Structure 1
Amino acid sequence: MESAFRRGAREGVRDFLPISVGLLPWAVVTGIAMRSIGLTELEALGMNLLVYAGTAQLGALPLIAAGAPLWLIMLTALALNLRFVIFSAAIAPLFAGRRWSTRLLSSYLLVDGVFAICADKAVTSDDPQWRWGYYIAPSVFNWLVWQLFVAGGVFGAEFVPSDWSLEFMVTIALMVLVLPMLRSRPMLVAALAGGLGAVLLRGLPLRLGVVAGIAIGIAAGFAAEHWQQRREAA
């Protein structure tokens, strides 16, 4: 009889496959972008392995290219990844009783797509082995696909004409990943407020408009959730 872990792993990968399509152009463009600012192949691959956060990578690259101070690069990457604090809190029950090393590895593998597709179903399961497989299998699959296609962009960057504008592919890929998360009013409010804030404040120096937009989105999302809870309690 198939183990609960294998059943969960198979179902997790199956549920994740449709959204994983959005990873491909995003990963390739990320690889090309790292090479376009002057990173060597080794530096680009090393950054991709250590950071493993496409949004933070793309957000930090213009700052690196402009010679921005290290504190600003780190602040931008931190702001862009703040959502993972919320994601981690939401899926914490998955790792109850597991070793510290397991939790550390799982935090490294946590990505938007896996959270959007797998979090609710995994947390509501009563079988710890099934839900562990349901989380870890698509997470490892996502990591492998991302590393492979980023490497393709890194080594294929020299063959892409410099006048090709590929930024729109990243936007489309991000939309594919973000849309499944907009299932609640607070999430929708956060996305709209953050996006509008980043656009309106794009003229701030050192590209701080992105950081400001993130802060606005987080504040708006918490406010909307608080208002919704008060309304439901009334």
Structure 2
Amino acid sequence: MLGRITLALLLLAAPAWAENWRATYVISAAGVHVMDAEIRFTLGPAGTPYSLETRTRSRGVASLFMRSESQARSEGILRAGAASPRRYQSDGTWRGMARRTLLEYGPDGTARVTTLEPAQDLERTPLPDDARRGNIDPLSALVLLTGHVRETARCDIRTRTFDGRRLVQFDVTTDPIVQVADRGMLRCIVESRPLAGIAMDRPIEDAARPTRSVLLFGVTRPGAPAIPVRIDIASRWWGNIQANLVELTSAD
């Protein structure tokens, strides 16, 4: 019964027009608060423009050892079963090094890398010739998943992302087992598999290994969209990384 109620809420959460929202998350690693994240997004029905912007900043003990902050933004058109990005930009600082990426997309979906700083950050495996064609940026992949959940109350999609350096395949499936602790919310299992542009600062068999994440989608209040309320990521270095939604407000 609870599962059917949640399914109805997810489907009814689809707005008839684009709305602006602001979500804030607290990110922890091994139970320790390490980062804050803010996401601003506009997401309407299929055929309308979307935008998604993220801002992150290290907090607590993490800022003492690896101070970092970043922001990224993607804009495009959400279509039935597809996201068509127009522009993707990422700026940030990692370990004291400034990083900047700008991708602009042509009508055929080919990404043009107009900015990539630094041009060579690490030694990486080669990118195939088609890495820039038919693939979307990482934020557009999240838009695609969120739109699919909103329209179908299921998670099942496959897509590839290119961020200017790496090509990654994402396979997302609906968890068939209803977890009592999830309170009837929709659990999406995400497997991300690096395909090319893999950093070679550690053994390639480790760097190319798939990573498993879990996104728990829910509707926090009437009229709000269905978005991830919790994200669990299995990290090789930090153990379990968890992002928890702490606030969702209208940004209008």
| Structure 2 length-normalised TM | 0.26
Query: Which protein has the bigger strand share?
Result: 2
Between Structure 1 and Structure 2, whose CA radius of gyration is higher? Answer: 1
Between the two structures, name the one with larger relative contact order (CA 8 Å, sep ≥ 6).
Answer: 1
Query: Which protein has the bigger helix share?
Result: 1
| Structure 1 length-normalised TM | 0.27
